[in-house]
Amino acid sequence: QQEADQSRGFSGSMKIEEVIVVEGKNDTLNLKRYFEVDTIETHGLGLSRETVEYIREINRTRGVIVFTDPDSAGENIRRKLNYEIPNLKNAFILKEDARTSKKVGVEHACKKVLEEALNNLVTFVESRESLSYADFVDLGLTGRDNSSELRDRLIKRYHLGKCNGKTLFKRLNMLGLKKEDIWQELI
């Protein structure tokens, strides 16, 4: 199920207890501009076994927030970490909220976007399928002219970051959402 941590109430340079996993030093610098925070940098896709084990240990003691870029490399890192380590918290930003003319990433997001992402953390829980693919299709989330618009509404509502239909289906199931829950968000 989704965990939205509304108790943070960021103002000024607030200390974040969890360690945030980012891709590189510029992501760290941008976060430190606005928050008191410790980070672990994956250095892009170079996610070693030692780094994964270090993140696993930090998650046991302080908690971890995965805050990777909204691109394919960032999603690959996020997917790997969530697969390897249960109960990680995830912060998502949309590409349009973290881009320059040539690049996209956490390093380019403004304070407001970072705060919103960190105030709406998502923890994926491995569970049985709560939403069948037939229900996903029945809700119009794939195969219709407006499917992309409907998916975007759910992505924003649940703070899931940009994802295609297949990834959204998986994330909705990982949140334990049922057809009725999703229907209420779409009407």
How many secondary structure helices (H) and strands (E) does the chain include? 8, 5
Give pLDDT tens digits for 61-114.
Answer: 999 999 999 888 898 999 899 989 988 999 999 888 877 777 888 999 999 999
- Say whether pTM exceeds 0.95: no
Report the mean per-residue pLDDT for the chain: 87
Structure-model confidence comparison of residues 78 and 7, the more confident one: 78
DSSP 76-113: HHHHHHHHHSTT-EE----GGGSB-SS-BSGGG--HHH
Residue 4 confidence (pLDDT): 40
Cβ atoms within 10 A of the Cβ of 48, count? 10
Amino acid 12: pLDDT: 53
Dist. CA 182–CA 170, nearest whole Å: 14
Of residues 92 and 2, the one with the higher pLDDT is 92
Under the banding of pLDDT at 50, 70 and 90, the label for residue 43 is: confident
Could you tell me which residue, 39 or 187, shows the higher pLDDT? 39
pLDDT in tens, 103-156: 888 999 999 999 999 999 998 876 668 899 999 999 999 999 999 999 999 998
Token pair of 109 as six digits: 């997001």
Residue 59 CB neighbours (<10 A): 21
pLDDT value of residue 13: 67
Give the pLDDT band of residue 2 (cuts 50, 70, 90).
very low
Regarding predicted confidence, which is higher, 67 or 1?
67
DSSP 3: -
CA distances in angstroms from 123 to 24, 161, 164, listed in the order given: 22, 13, 19
